[in-house]
Amino acid sequence: MSTVAQKPHIIVFANEKGGTGKSTTAVHVAIALEARGAKVSALDLDHRQRTMGRYLDNRLATAKRTGRELNIPRHATHDGESLDRFTETVASLAEGADFLVIDTPGRDDPFARIAAQKADTLVTPMNDSFVDFDLIGQVDPVTYKVTRPSFYAELIWDARKARAKADGSTIDWVVLRNRVQHIEARNMRRVSEALDQLAKRVGFRIIPGLGERVIYRELFPKGLTMLDAREFGEMGLAHVAARQELREMMAALGLPEPAMPLFA
């Protein structure tokens, strides 16, 4: 695995559907990278919901209140309107950073499209359901075979072509499968088969994501993550399982390696 270059590696979390765990995953990736010694910046493009920004603001408040040293990336939230401000903010956050993590709105957004073209790694979280699969592809209602890529998949395809034309770089598109506990096994298998078919057609990687655990929602008010074990006191089995999921997800992302080991 290569080392992080001078230019930051840009990781964009993008999904035009809400409720997929996008912002929670983005925050955990940013904190995990800081935990292994990288310099990380974060940009929230969703000026309405501002989930990532508020998550990190809560984290900063917890550090000040408790006196604990917590890994906190430099972060900012875009106003959703000004291209000049977007350009200036990206440049400012990128300066001196190893990674820039960008969280986009759960809707079509012009700045999300620009961010997608800038991405080195583009992560699309989705739940194991055909409701979420519909974002990237359509299936036959009887055979569940993929009939065609969706508009969003074509949008990412265009972004990859534009990036290659601009600087010769490639965008590593990763579809991250977050597990939903109430989805029955046969449906999960059908979704998995459809994803495999579509991945071969449009060229994305599929990796395991995070489970649907109440603990993630409980961590938000304090801005904590599954990496902040000492803040939990005694960790239960759910915490241990969630930390293992995070380890597996970070390994599967295959991001450039900073000097320090993960979770040292």
Q: How confident is the model at residue 159 (pLDDT cuts 50, 70, 90)?
A: very high
Q: pLDDT tens, 121-156? A: 999 999 888 989 999 999 999 999 999 999 999 999
- Give 23 or 257, the one with higher predicted confidence: 23
- Give 105 or 234, the one with higher predicted confidence: 105
Residue 222 DSSP class: G
Nearest CA among 201, 197, 99, 192 for reference residue 156: 201
Domain ranges (residues) in the chain: 9-253
- Mean pLDDT over residues 92-108, rounded? 95
The mean-pLDDT minimum among 53-57, 73-77, 117-121, 222-226 falls in: 222-226
| CATH number for the domain whose boundaries are 9-253 | 3.40.50.300
- Mean pLDDT over residues 186-190, rounded? 83
Residue 200: other Cβ atoms inside 10 A: 10
Let me know: does 260 contact 36? Beta carbons within 8 Å: yes
- Mean pLDDT over residues 236-253, rounded? 87
| pLDDT surpasses 60 at 259 | no
